[in-house]
Structure 1
Amino acid sequence: MRISIGVLLVFCGLLGFLPVLGFWMIPLGLLVLSHDFALVRRWRRRLAVWWERRRRPGQPP
């Protein structure tokens, strides 16, 4: 069920130029898919680490 919802969200997000559908659906779909696929989970983790490093520029890595 989660896989189909995640794929549907990503696909509809690609149609973000249409009304109601939006590009906000792509990250949400990837988040849902990350619970089932290790590859997407790694991407999500890398993004979280990058974001934290970007937020705290004064601290050493």
Structure 2
Amino acid sequence: MAGKGKYRIDGDRGKLVLGGFELPFPRSRTGRIVTGTLLVGGGFLGFLPILGFWMAPLGLLVLSHDLPSVRRKRRRIAIWWRKRYPQVKRAGRG
């Protein structure tokens, strides 16, 4: 399921690759679901110190690895975004 793009989940190495950054990623399905849920929950509390709104999209990315319903929503949003804003270059593409 991991693509070859700059933003992907490398399940073999257990890393979440975000451009040049690599973050450790739980190898178990349960661990990924718990991590994704906590990130989304922390994103809703982004107005508090330390937590940030950036956590919600990252949590959805983590959840989309294991939950087909979240994966479908993520793909629909990506397709909608590309149709709505075709002039916006993709991240990492020049």
TM-score, L = length of structure 2: 0.57
Given the alignment, which residue of 81, 84, 90 partners 1:51? Answer: 81
Question: Given residue 24 of structure 1, which amino acid in structure 2 is its aligned partner?
Answer: W
Task: Choose which of 33, 36, 59 in structure 1 pairs with 2:66.
Answer: 36
- Residue 20 of structure 1, aligned match among 50, 55, 58: 50
- Point out the structure with the larger helix share: 1
Q: Which has the higher contact order (CA 8 A, sep 6+)?
A: 1
Task: Name the % identity.
Answer: 65
The CA RMSD over aligned residues, in Å, is 1.2
If the length of structure 1 is used for normalisation, what is the TM-score? 0.85
Q: Looking at secondary structure, tell me which structure has more strand per residue.
A: 2
Unaligned 5+ segments in structure 1 are none
> 2:8 is matched with which residue?
none
SS of aligned partner of 2:65 = coil
Please give the per-residue CA displacement for 1:21-51, whole angstroms capped at 9, x wherever unaligned: 0111111101100011011001100011011
Matched with 2:41 is: 11
